[in-house]
């Protein structure tokens, strides 16, 4: 067998709660406008079919509990936004998964941030261009430890919130998702075959807004490990 021309990039991984194990990341899928009030604040109404975008796996920034993880302010933007989200970690391969079987494919859940260069995303929207530069940049996917689904019997009952510098910025309930976890998996797996290691950022509740260098973000979902990050 021939050699690689250079060393392959290391496998991106996220630690798992309750085990000395790492969840190896395959792909990062994200759901757009999946809470009604956030859809409204972005200028949309109604229950439109879910839509998806992606971030590169190496956009992950692991935020271990009990630490404030450094989050570099990205280039090219003057309007970096926070979006606190429930992240679903896929453990079992599947395509065209029925809603009633979808949760069987879930390995676990984590708290995540879909960091967004809002000014660039809005420019791309206006021009009908892809969102990559607004969404898929380096360090754009902070995530906390993954809790196995068996320890979270009812994620739909959880609250989700974000504080910036100790002040509430975003708050919602997972039950407010327009497309719930099972429906999201069903729709997503119609378009891509889901693989073990896939992460799904399920969308953000209302209250998105800018952060600047020095700000400390603290995110929570009931029952999951919280995350804390400082923009540097």
**Contact positions vs Mn ion (CB under 5 A):** 83, 114, 204
CA distance 146 to 169: 23
Residues in the chain: 232
For Mn ion, the closer of residues 39 and 146 by Cβ is 39
For Mn ion, the closer of residues 189 and 204 by Cβ is 204
C-beta separation of 195 from 117 below 8 A? no
Q: How far is the CB of 85 from Mn ion (least distance, A)?
A: 6
Residue 189 three-state SS: helix
Q: How far is the CB of 159 from Mn ion (least distance, A)?
A: 18
69-71 β-sheet, strand order: 69-71, 227-231, 216-221, 159-164, 167-173
Phi and psi angles of residue 198, each rounded to the nearest 5 degrees, phi first: -75, 140
Q: How far is the CB of 142 from Mn ion (least distance, A)?
A: 12
Q: How far is the CB of 69 from Mn ion (least distance, A)?
A: 19
Strands 84-90 and 106-113 turn out to be: antiparallel
The string of DSSP letters for 65-118 reads TTS-EEEPPPTT-S-EEE-EEEEEEE-S-BSS--GGGGGGGEEEEEEEE--EEH
For Mn ion, the closer of residues 83 and 198 by Cβ is 83
Q: How far is the CB of 145 from Mn ion (least distance, A)?
A: 20
For Mn ion, the closer of residues 83 and 161 by Cβ is 83
For Mn ion, the closer of residues 32 and 91 by Cβ is 32
Q: Among all residues, whose Cβ is closest to Mn ion?
A: 114
């Amino acid at each position: 067998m021939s050699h690689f021309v250079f060393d392959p990039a290391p496998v991106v991984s996220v630690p798992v709660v309750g085990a000395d194990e790492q969840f190896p990341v395959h792909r990062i899928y994200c759901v757009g406008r999946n809470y009604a009030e956030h859809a409204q604040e972005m200028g949309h109404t109604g229950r439109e079919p879910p839509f998806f975008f992606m971030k590169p796996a190496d956009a992950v920034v692991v935020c271990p509990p009990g630490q404030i993880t450094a989050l570099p302010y990205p280039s090219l933007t003057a309007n970096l936004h926070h979006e606190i989200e429930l992240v679903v970690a896929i453990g079992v391969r599947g395509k065209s998964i029925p809603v009633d079987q979808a949760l069987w494919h879930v390995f676990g859940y984590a708290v995540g941030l879909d960091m967004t260069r809002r000014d660039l995303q809005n420019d791309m929207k206006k021009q009908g261009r892809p969102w990559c530069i607004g969404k898929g940049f380096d360090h754009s996917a902070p995530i906390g430890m993954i809790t196995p689904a068996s320890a979270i019997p009812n994620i739909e009952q959880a609250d989700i919130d974000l504080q910036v510098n100790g002040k509430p910025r975003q708050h919602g309930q997972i039950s407010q998702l327009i497309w719930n976890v099972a429906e999201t998996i069903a729709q997503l797996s119609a378009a891509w075959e889901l693989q073990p290691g896939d992460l799904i950022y399920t969308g953000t509740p209302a209250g998105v807004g800018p952060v600047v260098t020095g700000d400390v973000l603290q995110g929570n979902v009931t029952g999951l490990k919280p995350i804390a990050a400082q923009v540097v």
